[in-house]
Amino acid sequence: MMETLDEVVFCFPSFNNSCRKTIRPHVEATLIYTLFSSITLVTVVLNLLVIISISHFRQLHTTTNLLLLSLAVSDFFVGLLQMPVEILLFQGCWILGDFVCAMNYFLGFLVISVSVGNMVLISIDRYVAICDPMLYPTKVTLRRVQICIYMCWIFSTLHASWILRDLLKQPGRYNTCHGECVLVVNFAEGVFDLIVTFLAPFLIITVLYMRVFVVAVSQARVIRSHVATVSQQRSGTVTAQKSEMKAARTLGIVVAVFILCSCPYYCFTVAAETNLVGALTAGVELWLIYFNSCLNPLIYAFCYPWFRKSIKHIVTLKILQPDSRETNIL
């Protein structure tokens, strides 16, 4: 009877320093695993659809969509790699070893940093498109956007490597018992991460979108005042302006949702006496950040007709037809 009790209470009963399991009522555990598994599946599937859509259809190969593609890739990795690991951690036992634990934290820092970088790039893209539309095609080219995306991923990799350098050198160094997966970040590194991945991007995004909002409102008034007398020659310009403003509103929603999902985690980090990140201390806040990866493609589905059309083509396997890349999807 005692052995059976040990097997229930401890992660590894055969080890003297085994961690204890997190015991939850069966109904609660079932609901948690069902909910998080559903979120994980939706995140992976929807972001994969975004990746396929933008990669496949030639009409979608625009500078803005290239940024959305980079964001979808990071969100896809969140659903494919990070969310399943967090589901395992809800039991309170880490069974994948110290090296995988270190890589899990590395990927977590990487994808969050990449998402933040993409949000900043999206804000800059909308700022130039709305505030300087005449020079937008020459300032924001596919080549320049590609370079910015590569730099974003490279910087995020270097950032995660620096923050986690001690853990990567010696995986499991912060564990106090067998079956634990925790990370300790000192105060200076925590402040640096807070500034680089939240405060500075939040300030940049807020300033840019305030400017975009002011200019968009001004342009909307001009369009409404001239809509009755606009000539056929200028109708294309007006339509383009409306399209740009609609894209700005949609991407503004994406950025706003990201900030709302990120605030609780960073507020928790600031309020905590010690910057200890583990399965029980920051689990809910971390899941909220990850849940943002599920919300992004849902926003696209509601706001972008091209995404809904793309889904129909993918689900019905029309993308396998010859010349499907040239399909009019807009």
Q: What is the pLDDT of residue 223?
A: 59
Nearest 5 degrees, angle CA 114-CA 117-CA 119? 110
Q: What is the pLDDT of residue 220?
A: 62
Tell me which of 18-22, 137-141, 195-199 is least confident: 18-22
Mean pLDDT of 217-243: 56
Q: What is the pLDDT of residue 233?
A: 47
Alpha-carbon 244 to chain mean position: 23
Q: What is the pLDDT of residues 254-274, one digit of tens each?
A: 777 887 888 777 776 665 544
Q: pTM here? A: 0.83
Q: What is the pLDDT of residue 29?
A: 79
Q: What is the pLDDT of residue 44?
A: 94
| pLDDT cut 90: percent of the chain above it | 19
**What DSSP state is assigned to residue 176?**
S
- The torsion angles phi and psi of 65, rounded to 5 degrees, stand at -65, -25
Residue 236 has pLDDT above 70, yes or no: no
CA distances from 169 to 162, 163, 177 (A): 11, 12, 19
Q: What is the pLDDT of residue 279?
A: 41
Q: What residue ranges do the domains of the chain occupy? A: 24-222+236-326
Residue written as token pair 């370079």:
147
Residue 232 has pLDDT above 80, yes or no: no
Q: Which of 228-232, 280-284, 287-291 has the highest mean pLDDT?
A: 287-291
Q: What is the pLDDT of residue 244?
A: 59
Mean pLDDT, the chain, integer:
80
| pLDDT cut 70: percent of the chain above it | 82
Residue range 24-222+236-326 forms a domain whose CATH class is mainly alpha
Indicate the pLDDT class of residue 110, thresholds 50, 70 and 90: very high
| Higher per-residue confidence, 18 vs 314 | 314
Q: What is the pLDDT of residues 46-79, one digit of tens each?
A: 999 999 999 999 889 989 899 999 999 999 999 9
Alpha-carbon 229 to chain mean position: 44
Identify the three-state secondary structure at position 330. Answer: coil
Mean pLDDT of 162-190: 84
Task: Judge contact between 297 and 109, C-beta under 8 A.
Answer: no
Q: d(Cα 306, Cα 252) in Å, to the nearest integer?
A: 18
- Helix (H), strand (E) counts: the chain: 13, 2
Q: What is the pLDDT of residue 3?
A: 44
Q: Where are the alpha helices (DSSP H) in 132-186?
A: 136-139, 142-163, 165-169
Q: What is the pLDDT of residues 5-42, one digit of tens each?
A: 444 577 777 777 888 877 777 787 788 889 889 999 99
Enumerate the β-bridge partners of residue 184: 276
Q: What is the pLDDT of residue 114?
A: 92
Residue 243 has pLDDT above 70, yes or no: no
Q: What is the pLDDT of residue 85?
A: 87
